[in-house]
Each structure stands twice: as C-alpha cells, then as structure tokens.
Amino acid sequence: MRHKGKLLVSLGSALIVLYGVSAAFYGKVVAKDEAYKELSVFMDVLKRVNDDYVEAPDMNKVQEGAMRGLVEALDPYSSFLSKDQLEALERRKAGGTAGVGVVISKRAGIIYVVSCERGGPADNAGARAGDYIVAVDGESVEEKSIFEVTGLLRGAPDSKIKLSFFRSSRTNPLDLELTRKPDQPVRIVSQMLDGNIGLLDIPSLTGSAIQDVRVKLKTLISAGAQKLILDLRDCADGSSADGAELANYFLREGLIYYSQDRAGIKVAEVQAKPDHFVTDLPMVVLINTSTSGAGEITAGALKDAKRATVVGERSFGFGSAQKQIQLKSGSIMILSTAKFYTPSGKVIQDESLLKTGIEPDVQAPDYEKRQEFAVESYYDEKDEAGKYRLYQDKIDQIQLNKALEILSKGAIPAQKAA
C-alpha cells in the first residue's frame, strides 16, 4: 500500500503541473482553488480505481493513460508518448522513412487527411483530402496522436501498407493498399497564361521549394509577366519560416505574422526584409480547404496587407508552434506553446471550425454552384473516382476563372522587381 500511495502522490504532483498548463492554455485563466477542486475529484476517481476495480490495476498504465488524455485534450497537435511507444516509433523509423504522400491532422478526435500529394501513393490509390483514417494495417488509430500515426505511415521504400478510410459518401470503410515511396522534391509549376499573366503553382513548401519559387518567379517576370496568380491550393506542408519567406517575395516591408503565447504576449514578430522582396505586380492568391500551415501564413499576410485578392475557400486552419519535452520517465510530451496570427490579429488556428483558417476575399464557387457541380458529377456515368475528379476539376476551374476575371479588371502598375 505504501508503494501505491507514493505512486498516487507522484501522479498527483505531475497532474498538478499539467493541469495548470491545460487550465491556462492559450489565455484560459482558472483560479487556483478551482484547479485544486478539479484535481481532488480526479484523485478521488484514481483512488476508487486503485481500491475497487475488479482486477488489480497496472498503475503505470493508469498514469500514462491519464497523462496522455490530459495532454491530447488540449489540441490536435499536443501529444504524450510513453517510453515504450517512443521506442516502437524509433524502431519503425530505423526501418525506413518512405511515406504515402499525405498531410494529416485531427478533427473531432479522428485522423483527418488535409491534403494528398499530387501523383503520390495515396493520391494514386484513390485517397482524398477530407477522408478520415480509421485504421493502419488493421490497427485502429482512434486513440493515436498525429505524431504516432505519421510514424505508422512511414516505413521501408516500396513496402505495402493498408489504410482504412471513412468517407462521407460511403456507408462502409474504404480499404486501400498503398506502396510507400521516398519523398520526392517538390515540383513548382510555372506558366504564362493569356494576357501576360504568370501562374505559380506551389503544392508544398518543403525542402528547396522556396528557393525554386524565387527562381521561377523571376523567370516569369523576365518573360514579360505583368500580373500573377499564386496557386496555394492543396499546399499543406512546410515551415512557418518558408511561408513568411514566400510572402516576403511580394512584400517590401511590414509585418508578415506574429506568434503569441497563452498570456497574450508576442513571442515573435516576423517582418518583411526589403532585400528579399521580388515584385509588386498585381496578384491573386488561390486557396482551398487543403491550404494549411505555411500556405496560410502567406495568404494571411498578403490579404491583410491588401497586396493580393485571395480567392477560393476557407483554408484548413493550422497555425501553432510545438515544443518537444523529454520527461524523466523516458516518455516525451509534445506541447503547443504559441499560436500564429496574421498582421491584423486574426488567429490562424481557431477552436471554431467556422472561424479557423484564412477566409478568402472572394468565395469561389458559392454554395449553389458547388451543389450544382455535385449533382452533375453524381449522374455522370464515370466510376466513383472519375466522378470525384470531374467535380474537383470544375471547382478548380471556376476558382482559376475568377482569378483571371479579377486580374483582367485591375490596372497594371509599372513593373518593379529586385
């Protein structure tokens, strides 16, 4: 009993610290007496489990479960991994880091596909943005963190993996077998459209993508581009620094974004650097529900500075910084420590799905048009994948057409390029 008592005290001490973190997380201030009141209820539950559970409980597992539940209740990007879980992930990592080409998050506590790499394993197999992953190789991921599932998705190059998806258009889960492939360099597509409009299609901001964008942007300007379309649809990967750098190409000066801690104190302010500026040509930025992270920092900065018209759909809404904390037990805690804000003070990652992300200046398509496309694709004779592609192609085209329409009405200033 003395050993169990010490364990309860240790658990209680840890929970006091963690409860303080969760209670005040992102500015939610809770009085100390309320914190201790809630903690006493938890300790009472813990004691009941210890004394009355039908079998002798493994208190180490109880402690890990409590820690995990507490941390992962904060937000989708905070997580707790025990020493055993961490070692298992490290073993998997040693076997290979090839992936399936998806960016994931969590919604309603379920692993959510934010974006699929174009031509990647998941995309080729028929996975879509908006799918929910419910199992990996037959193992449920319901209780797993984003960090864990990301580890499960990676493995040896050319190895097989079976993913089970839930999709709103289906009554039963969809099982897809994928082949893991090594990460490929991001392909930035640039082209000149009619009217001397330069188009930059940026599917990701990982690796050397940001340097490639600068080169292709200058090439378009040299070729005579007088207006620009920056396509950030499906751009869901990359660092906040690269998102800020991309915005800086089009901003000579001013705030790009800032981060703020739970006390409302600015942790960092990222300003445009004049020597990184490239051009002030008129431009439109395209975003959709799969624009996330770095792409949202770019879109938010250009929108707030009135540097570009943002067209499309509300973006996904991921904008926070995480810190990995090593614990004495050998476990780790990944904790969100700050949120990102656009220059006007709009938080990118909001708890409300109706407010999160970047809202476009021009919504395209509108609800009625989207429903019309859905009905048309439903009655098409193509298979499910073909119907979805037809539906998505129509949405993509109407967004591009709206961008072209906006640029066609704008005045063309004198070209200025670094």
Of residues 13 and 266, the one with the higher pLDDT is: 266
Q: Residue 138: pLDDT above 70?
A: yes
- Range with the poorest average pLDDT among 5-19, 84-98, 182-196: 5-19
Domains and CATH numbers, the chain: 2-74 (no CATH), 84-179 (2.30.42.10), 189-322+340-409 (3.90.226.10)
Does 155 or 381 have the greater pLDDT score? 155
State yes or no: pLDDT of 48 exceeds 70. Answer: yes
Q: Residue 344 above 90 pLDDT?
A: yes
Please write the tens of the pLDDT for every residue from 260-305: 888 888 889 999 999 999 999 999 999 999 999 999 999 999 999 9
Residue 369 confidence (pLDDT) = 83
> Is residue 28 pLDDT above 60, yes or no?
no
Average confidence (pLDDT) over 187-214:
96
Angle at 171 between CA 100 and CA 353, to 5 degrees: 65
251-254: long-range contacts, CB 8 A cutoff, minimum separation 24? 251/277, 251/301, 251/302, 251/305, 251/307, 252/277, 252/280, 254/305, 254/343
Position with higher pLDDT, 180 vs 351 = 180
Q: What is the mean pLDDT of residues 207-217?
A: 96
Q: What is the pLDDT of residues 64-97, one digit of tens each?
A: 777 788 888 889 999 999 888 889 888 888 888 8
Size of the chain in residues: 418
CA 234/CA 163 separation, integer angstroms: 21
State the Cα–Cα distance between residues 212 and 215, nearest whole angstrom.
5
In the numeric block, which tokens belong to residue 237?
A: 């990967």
Most confident of the ranges 48-52, 211-215, 407-411? 211-215
Residue 263: other Cβ atoms inside 10 A: 10
pLDDT at 35: 55
Q: Which residue has the higher pLDDT, 394 or 55?
A: 394
- pLDDT of 33 reads 58
Q: Residue 307 contacts by C-beta under 8 Å, 6 or more apart in sequence?
A: 250, 251, 280, 283, 301
> Residue 29 above 50 pLDDT?
no
The type of residue at 53 is Y
The one-letter amino acid code at 311 reads V
Higher pLDDT, 388 or 232: 232
Q: What is the pLDDT of residue 214?
A: 97
Contacts of 339 (CB under 8 A, 6+ apart): 26, 259, 260, 319, 320, 321, 347, 348, 349
Q: How confident is the model at residue 381 (pLDDT cuts 50, 70, 90)?
A: low
Mean pLDDT, rounded, of the chain? 86
Model pLDDT, residue 72:
86
Q: What is the mean pLDDT of residues 340-358?
A: 94
Question: What's the pLDDT band for 379 if we cut at 50, 70, 90?
Answer: low
CA angle 304, 307, 309 (to 5 degrees): 85
Share of the chain above pLDDT 90, in %: 62
**pLDDT higher for 317 or 52?**
317
What is the pLDDT, as a whole number, of residue 93?
Answer: 85
| Model confidence at 12: pLDDT above 60 | no
Residue 42 corresponds to which tokens in the numbers above? 């938890």
Q: Which of 89-103, 215-229, 318-332 has the highest mean pLDDT?
A: 215-229
Does residue 308 register a pLDDT over 80? yes
In the predicted structure, residue 22 carries a pLDDT above the cut 50:
no
Q: Is the pLDDT score of 2 beyond 60? A: no
pLDDT of res. 210: 97
Average pLDDT of 36-48?
72
pLDDT at residue 16 in the model: 40
* More confident: 46 or 242: 242
Does residue 332 have a pLDDT over 60? Answer: yes
> From CA 180, how far away is CA 37, in angstroms rounded?
49
Q: What percent of the chain has pLDDT over 70?
A: 87
pLDDT on residue 193: 96
The predicted structure's pLDDT at residue 8: 45
Question: What is the predicted pLDDT for the residue at 242?
Answer: 97
pLDDT tens per residue, range 114-134: 999 999 999 999 999 999 999
Question: Of 105, 90, 133, which is closest to residue 332 (Cα–Cα)?
Answer: 90
pLDDT grade, residue 36 (50/70/90)? low
